[in-house]
């Protein structure tokens, strides 16, 4: 199962998404950036959501180092979970008003997801709610946030090979 970033515009709310993660035995982290929040608010929300150490430097290098360490004081039951769901609400303002900083955040998450995949930590970063048009790849709905496209969903029609 490959780690990825997804966009979930029609999520009922972040709490409902976290509840769904819990039902599926996934740990979750809420990065809840307030309206109008940019890079500083993003770092504050990440420090709070993950439980970064007090020495977290609120810069991109420190952010990546804290994520790479996987020592998250605020993430309950991560060792027993089937995966980690990171829900980023309020991403739209940063994407619209600080697009360079938003792009860096996405790049860091992509790098970290690759590191975590190598360490056998299954994870998803899900941008919840509204924001500008993005090209992150797949836009996911409720049924597919937690499954990999390489696997059939229960009850799904079998995939067919193209004729040729």
Closest CA to 66 of 15, 31, 21: 31
pLDDT score, position 23: 82
- Encoded tokens for 16: 């409902």
What DSSP letter does each residue of 42-63 carry, written as one string? HHHHHHHHHT--TT--SSHHHH
Instruction: Confirm if 30 and 161 have CB atoms less than 8 A apart.
Output: no
| Integer Cα distance of 125 and 5 in angstroms | 5
pLDDT score, position 72: 75
Token pair 């008003």: residue: 97
pLDDT score, position 136: 57
pLDDT score, position 132: 83
Which residues are CB-neighbours of 46 under 8 A, at least 6 positions away? 31, 52, 63, 66
pLDDT score, position 92: 92
Q: What is the mean pLDDT of each run of 10 residues along the chain (164 residues)?
A: 73 72 85 91 95 93 91 75 90 92 94 91 88 62 42 37 48
The answer for 58, left when phi > 0, alpha when psi is -120 to 50, beta otherwise, is left
Domains in the chain and their CATH numbers?
4-144 (3.30.370.10)
Q: In terms of pTM, does the model score above 0.85?
A: no
pLDDT score, position 151: 31
């Amino acid at each position: 199962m490959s780690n990825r970033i997804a966009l979930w515009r029609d999520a009922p709310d972040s709490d409902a998404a976290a509840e769904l993660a819990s039902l599926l035995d996934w740990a979750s982290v809420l990065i809840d950036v307030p309206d109008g929040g940019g890079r500083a608010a993003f770092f504050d929300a990440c420090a709070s959501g993950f439980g970064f150490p007090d020495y977290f430097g609120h810069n991109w290098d420190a952010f990546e180092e804290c994520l790479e360490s996987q020592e998250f004081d605020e993430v309950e039951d991560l060792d027993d979970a089937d995966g980690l769901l990171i829900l980023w609400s309020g991403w739209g303002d940063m994407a619209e008003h600080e697009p360079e900083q938003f792009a860096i955040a996405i790049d860091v998450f992509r790098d970290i997801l690759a590191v975590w995949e190598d360490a056998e930590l299954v994870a998803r970063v899900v941008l919840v709610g509204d924001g500008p048009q993005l090209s992150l790849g797949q836009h996911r709905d409720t049924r597919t946030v937690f499954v990999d496209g390489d696997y059939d969903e229960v009850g799904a029609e079998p995939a067919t090979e193209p004729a040729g």
